Structure 1
Amino acid sequence: MKRPAKPAKTPDDPLKLRLDALHDRYLGEASLALDPLVIPRSFASGGDQELAAFVAAHLAYGRVAPMLSAIEAVLAPLGDHPAARAAEPGALDHLRAALKGWAWRFHTGEDMAQWILAWVRLSRESGGRGLEPHLVPREGATADQRLSALVLRLRRELPETPGLRFNLPDPLRGAACKRWRMFLRWMVRDEWPDLGLWRDYPRRDLVVPLDTHVARISGFIGIGRRKTPDGKLAREITEALRAMCPEDPLRYDFPMAHLGILGDCPGVRRLPGCAACPLVDLCRAGDLAQK
């Protein structure tokens, strides 16, 4: 039997009020200094932004500074208009030569050349509309079913390397799909700091891109109780956020992540250091201690 939907939180709910304050704290370009989204935002056209986001989101793991350098190095051979350059004849050979010797953790230059050309093929199929037509939910297929179908297709079409398999987790097999969820958030949301390039994919179907910071802080404030950082935890957190903002459940993802990314959350609740955090009164991060 399907459980009845929980009522949305009222505007004066204590947690919602504090998350709104946290959201406002991380408005502005300064908050993007350590975020891979800064790279897609540097391009002018939607197609260039989407391709750059497709690359950036799927390389978004590991230490931030070298990760940002790795993303920039992958896109550099494509110049200021990467979507058009990647669609030119001979682009695969060009990328292979330019990225020879490039590597980032699990990924090689060959992986990224194949990944970029996969985006080009999919965008051509959609009539230049990028990946949205391949991922937007439709009658008889949920958002996760559509993502799973695309992942399984790319597994068949792309070389079976560690880097490319790392890019292709299946949401229907319980994967959190953090990098795909991040890419979707960037594409769908049209409020800070996201790109809002897609118009048909509903924001309400987005799922939080579960990283270590969001998982940890969700636990501190009691909205993520599972210990395993999997798809079930991502759903649990998303449902809690949806109760506070049904039309835009990922409104609070960026500020929660950056509370950790920027080092503003020490992981242990202490005063006076934590006094400036909007979540301090609800935080369960260890014992309250005076410095």
Structure 2
Amino acid sequence: MNASELKEFLDEKVILYNNPNFIETDPIQIPHRFETKEDIEIAAFLTATIAWGNRKMIINNASKMMTLMGNSPYDFVMNHNEHQLEELNGFVHRTFNSVDFQTFIIGLKNIYTNHNGLEAVFASTEKTMQENISEFKRLFFEIPHSNRTTKHISDPLQGSAAKRINMFLRWMVRQDNCGVDFGIWKSISPSKLSCPLDVHSGNVARKLNLLTRKQNDAKALSELDTNLKSLDQNDPVKYDFALFGLGVFEGF
């Protein structure tokens, strides 16, 4: 299909999947349980952090995280004590364990206490969003931490597609008016976002000639972003719904 046909095809798929029904089977349902900005963004960040593997398992374990924080994630981050951190012992999602969870709680407190919160760290207009992600990782691990925990935040400047954190940013920044993405970060333009590139979206993108690179890495993400921006320069990551939906729900 030509460029206009491809855009029409993908726009139809965006409409099909970018609606509240999408939430029922997606990890984004976890932050949708909350109403205040800080609760939403912390729930979203932690959920996105463990968003690999079986989706049902992701949702179950993210729900456990919220329960362990008393379903008040911001209050827990800012006011936890040592005993409450110890109560996180035993949590595990694949390779993300209780040590990682405890470190993330302390890292988040540092971000809110010393760097004006999650949105402020990502909102630098002088850098690309991928550079902001790299800087976020540096700031997040200013605290004492185990080297093993650093692998749970990807660094695009080290060649990663950073799928999970780009998904988190989509959730926070895109205002889709459809009740899925939150759009609560007003200081960042959706045009700066990158597609959360994973096996499903990558395979579909290659079949549609939106991506030629075989690896799902930072170079592939740059290529995909360029091609998606040619379809919609203001909101390129809306096509994540189309690529993901075609791959997961339609076996495209």
Same fold per TM (> 0.5)?
yes
SS class of match (1:15): helix
Aligned to 1:93: 83
Residue 38 in structure 1 maps to residue 29 in structure 2: yes
Where do residues 59-98 of structure 1 align in structure 2 (5 Å cutoff)? Answer: 59-90=50-81, 92-97=82-87
1:173 aligns with 2:158: yes
Counterpart Cα distance in 1 of 2:94 and 2:112 = 27
The 2-side partners of 1:70 and 1:76 are apart by 10
Tell me the distance in 2 between the aligned counterparts of 1:225 and 1:158.
Answer: 41
Matched residue of 2:185: which SS? coil
Query: Distance in 1 between the 2:118 and 2:113 partners?
Result: 10
Specify the alignment match of 1:242 in structure 2. 229
Amino acid in the other structure paired with 1:95: L
Structure with the bigger percentage of helix: 2
CA contact 1:34–1:261 (8 Å) conserved in 2: no
Residues 104-158 of structure 1 show CA distances to partners (whole Å, capped at 9, x for unaligned) of 111111211221231122122344xx3111111333x332222212212334435
The within-5 A match list for 1:129-144 is 130-139=117-126, 141-144=127-130
Aligned to 1:270: none
Would you identify which runs of 4 or more consecutive aligned residues in structure 1 move more than 4 Å?
none
Q: Residues 188 and 198 of structure 1 are in contact (CA less than 8 Å); yes or no, is this contact kept in structure 2?
A: yes
Structural mapping, 1:114-153, within 5 Å: 114-127=103-116, 130-139=117-126, 141-153=127-139
Query: 1:60 is paired with a residue of what secondary structure?
Result: coil
CA distance in 1, matches of 2:16, 2:231: 18
Structure 1 residue matching 2:79: 3-state secondary structure: coil
Q: Which amino acid aligns with 2:146?
A: E
Q: Is the CA contact (8 Å cut-off) linking 1:189 and 1:203 kept in structure 2?
A: yes
Contact preservation (8 Å) 1:242, 1:249: yes
**Alignment pair present for 1:16 and 2:7:** yes
| Deviating more after overlay: 148-157 vs 239-248 | 148-157
Cα offsets for 1:65-87 (capped at 9, x unmatched):
11211111111122232212321
State the alpha-carbon separation in 2 of the partners of residues 48 and 102 from structure 1: 20
Per the normalisation by structure 2, the TM-score is 0.92
Residue in structure 1 matched with residue 143 of structure 2 by the alignment: 157
Q: Percent same amino acid at aligned positions?
A: 27
Distance 1:156 1:126, change over 3 A: closer
Shift of 1:172: 1.1
Measure, in 2, the Cα distance between the counterparts of 1:223 and 1:158: 42
2:13 touches 2:241 (CA, 8 Å); kept in 1?
Answer: no
Q: Which runs of 5+ in 2 are unaligned?
A: none
Q: Structure 1 stretch 108-117 or stretch 39-48: which is displaced more?
A: 108-117
Q: How many residue pairs align between the two structures?
A: 249
Mapped partners of 1:158, 1:236: distance in 2: 36
Q: What is the aligned-residue RMSD (CA, Å)? A: 1.9
- TM-score (ref. length: structure 1): 0.80
User: Separation in 2 of the partners of 1:81 and 1:153?
Assistant: 24
Larger Rg: 1
Q: Contact 1:208 / 1:250 at 8 angstroms: preserved in 2?
A: yes
